[in-house]
Amino acid sequence: MKEIMTGNEAIARGAWEGGCHVASAYPGTPSSEILENISRYDEIDSEWSTNEKVAVEVAGGASLGGARALSAMKHVGLNVAADPIFTMSYIGVNGGFVVITADDPGFFSSQNEQDNRWYAPHAKLPMLEPSDSQECLDFIKDAFELSERFDVPFLFRVTTRICHSKTVVETGTRAEAPIKPYQRDPQKCVMQPSAAKLRRYLMEDREKALRGFSNDCKYNRVEWGSGRGIGIIASGVSYQHAREAFEDIGGEVSFLKLGFTYPLPDELIKRFASEIEAIYVVEENEPYIENFVKQLGIKCKGRELLPAVGELDAGIVRKSLRGNEPAQGHSVDATPPPRPPVLCPGCSHRGICFVLSKYKDIAVSGDIGCYTLGVMPPLGVIDSVICMGAGVSAGIGFGKAFSRGATPPSGKKINKVFGMIGDSTFFHSGITGLIDAVVNKSPIALCIVDNRITAMTGHQENPGTGRTIKGEPTSQIDLASLCVACGVKPGNVRKVDPYDLKETEQAVREAYDSEEIFVIITTQPCALIKDVQRRRAGVHCAVDRDLCVKCRACMKVGFPALSFGGDGAEIERSMCNGCAICAQVCPKHAISQAGEFND
């Protein structure tokens, strides 16, 4: 049947058709919908794992046990999962095993732009790179069988424009794969040094076999044009951009379209190049293919013409390779104001960010999640964001530097370090940082902003929500007890309602004054959760015109629903959920909560 699907939907469909039994992931844009879609297939045992390392180990174990398995993650997630992946490459598989990495050229939703194709040669994992949704489906369907044939996990590399583009797909049926027999085999599966060394030699033979396969497989193909003047080598979405960039003279140009990109097909590339006058390699981010082509002694151009940063499109390729400037048709004499993403109206993170913003002698070590947006004006509270979990551990380090006298140029001493981390992120990799802080006596004040969901990536369940990926009730991990179990004194753990500024301020003050490690857990759920929206649908805030003195105190909190007109503060009723933080900052009590909760 013909359907229009995103790459992520097609990957899920292809995994199902390919007989996948077990699937695991930690959500991360642009990969999150892969598992969301897989979880709808009853034949596949799917789970949101605590983090990407856990996900790969769960799927890896399932593979060794005989099941076909996959793990999906965003590019930076593969860093977290790198440890099991490198050694799973030595062990190989029993049931087919595929690891999906979703890279983000153009930084649409990520803290960096790393090109995970380099992981393939580094970990010696064969790699498939689809260039549209049909290939997502077809390639992953084949990947399980290929993984079994070559006894190696496969890396499956996609990018934002593959994951989140819908293209037309012909679907098929599920090929039921029996669970493979399990035979205990310590020489293969117990990676102590002597066994690992033997496997390492076998990997060299495997690489040769894979290189041979790469030279003669359907995933790598030459599309000859009528001429031999220009030849393009490309993979993934870059192939599509390159095709379009030369569409007007498409008949003349020849393409080497690569879908199996580790090991790269040396003989095929040499044959292609021997017939072509000028070779161009079109790829986003790193010169991964280009370096290989040059190592073969073949002259080609790529990075010297194409931008090193950001995603490509057909216009950029046309301009870079052919010198054609984009058409300029229209201009208008107006400057659009910046419109970056902001904390939503009614966001549960706003209260704690606002309270922290009033302390001018603190540093806040932030983390990955919606609360990263606390860095935006007017709140402006976050000092650093590195990666999942660093909100806790980088905060420990900040504290060490400041306690040795590090001061900002203002000369005003930083007296306290706060960490800020979300619920899902804390479960992912904040716990280890907290234990580190307790054991090494680092008096960090940690704010766990618990909004009862993994919000930024689109509301996935996590260990604190009490639901599995399939929505079934399950054990709920209690954050306060967990912190106490990590060694935080019970008296130093505070749960606060971040919509209640007084309560939040009191807890922040206590944490600021404490010389011991202190944890504040905020308890308001994400304002976008359906049940929360339903409960608060009838609640909003209203301004009393007679009392408003136009002092703009409410504007310091940064509400998208609040604006300032000639008559003072105005609240956009359709956006306001009645969190009433603005009412609490108004010195004249001109704003009040109105309406009723649907309880």
Partner 1 sequence: MTKGILLVGVGGQGTILASKVLSEGLMRAGYDVKMSEIHGMSQRGGSVTTHVKYGDRVYSPIISQGEADILASFEKVEAVRWLSYLKPGGTLIVNDYEIRPLSVLTGAAEYPGDVMGKLSSAVRNTLAIDACGIALGLGNAKAQNIVLLGALVKCMKLDGIDWHAVLRDVIPPKLRALNSKAFDMGAGQSVK
CB of 111 or CB of 593, closer to partner 1: 111
Please give the size of the binding site for partner 1, defined by CB under 8 A: 60
Q: Rounded to an integer, what distance in angstroms lies between the CA atom of residue 110 and that of residue 576?
A: 29
Q: Rounded to an integer, what distance in angstroms lies between the CA atom of residue 15 and that of residue 99?
A: 12
Q: List residues bridging with 262 in a β-sheet.
A: 127
- Residue 321: phi and psi, rounded to 5, are -95, -30
Site for partner 1 in 59-118 (CB under 8 A): 108-109
CB of 109 or CB of 171, closer to partner 1: 109
Q: Which one of 281-289, 370-378, 424-432, 577-585 is the stretch in contact with partner 1 (CB under 8 A)?
A: 370-378
Q: Which one of 175-183, 320-328, 461-469, 499-507 is the stretch in contact with partner 1 (CB under 8 A)?
A: 320-328
Q: Is the dihedral of CA 433, 438, 439, 442 positive or negative?
A: positive
Strand boundaries in 57-103, DSSP class E: 69-74, 97-103
For partner 1, the binding residue among 76, 316, 501, 511 (CB under 8 A) is: 316
- Based on the shown chain and the rule CB under 8 A, indicate whether residue 459 belongs to the binding site for partner 1: no
Answer whether 163's CB lies under 8 Å from 37's CB.
Answer: no
Would you give the binding string for partner 1 spanning residues 278-307, x where CB under 8 A is met? ------------------------------
Q: Give which of 231, 23, 259 is closest to 144, Cα–Cα.
A: 23
Would you give the binding string for partner 1 spanning residues 211-250, x where CB under 8 A is met? --------------------------x--xx-xx--x---
- Based on the shown chain and the rule CB under 8 A, indicate whether residue 523 belongs to the binding site for partner 1: no
Q: Rounded to an integer, what distance in angstroms lies between the CA atom of residue 423 and that of residue 421?
A: 7
CB of 4 or CB of 198, closer to partner 1: 4
CB of 133 to partner 1, least distance (A): 9
Would you put residue 218 in left (φ > 0), alpha (ψ -120 to 50) or beta?
A: alpha
94, two tokens: 């029993």
Answer whether 91's CB lies under 8 Å from 145's CB.
Answer: no
- Give the largest CA-CA distance in the chain: 83
SS3 23: strand
- Based on the shown chain and the rule CB under 8 A, indicate whether residue 529 belongs to the binding site for partner 1: no
CB of 445 or CB of 455, closer to partner 1: 455
CB of 2 or CB of 404, closer to partner 1: 2
Judge residue 180's burial from the number of C-beta atoms within 10 Å of its C-beta, 0-12 exposed, 13-18 middle, 19 or more buried: middle
CB of 313 to partner 1, least distance (A): 5
- Based on the shown chain and the rule CB under 8 A, indicate whether residue 315 belongs to the binding site for partner 1: yes
For residues 249-260, b (16+ Cβ closer than 10 Å) or e, as one string?
A: eeeebbbbbbbb
CB of 458 or CB of 491, closer to partner 1: 458
Is-cis flag, bond preceding 378, omega within 30? yes
* Helices 288-295, 266-274: crossing angle, 10 deg rounding: 70
- Based on the shown chain and the rule CB under 8 A, indicate whether residue 375 belongs to the binding site for partner 1: no
- Based on the shown chain and the rule CB under 8 A, indicate whether residue 1 belongs to the binding site for partner 1: no
Q: Rounded to an integer, what distance in angstroms lies between the CA atom of residue 597 and that of residue 248?
A: 61
Q: Which one of 219-227, 323-331, 384-392, 418-426 is the stretch in contact with partner 1 (CB under 8 A)?
A: 323-331
CB of 3 or CB of 115, closer to partner 1: 3
- Based on the shown chain and the rule CB under 8 A, indicate whether residue 314 belongs to the binding site for partner 1: yes
Q: Which one of 118-126, 166-174, 380-388, 443-451 is the stretch in contact with partner 1 (CB under 8 A)?
A: 166-174
Q: Which one of 48-56, 81-89, 271-279, 326-334 is the stretch in contact with partner 1 (CB under 8 A)?
A: 326-334
Answer whether 492's CB lies under 8 Å from 514's CB.
Answer: yes
Amino acid at 348: S
End-to-end CA distance of the chain: 45
SS3 94: coil
Q: Which one of 220-228, 368-376, 475-483, 535-543 is the stretch in contact with partner 1 (CB under 8 A)?
A: 368-376
Q: Which one of 85-93, 407-415, 456-464, 531-539 is the stretch in contact with partner 1 (CB under 8 A)?
A: 456-464
* Residues within the interface to partner 1 (CB under 8 A): 2, 4, 29-30, 108-109, 132, 160-161, 164-168, 237, 240-241, 243-244, 247, 313-316, 318, 326-344, 370, 373, 376-378, 456-458, 555, 558-560, 562-564, 574
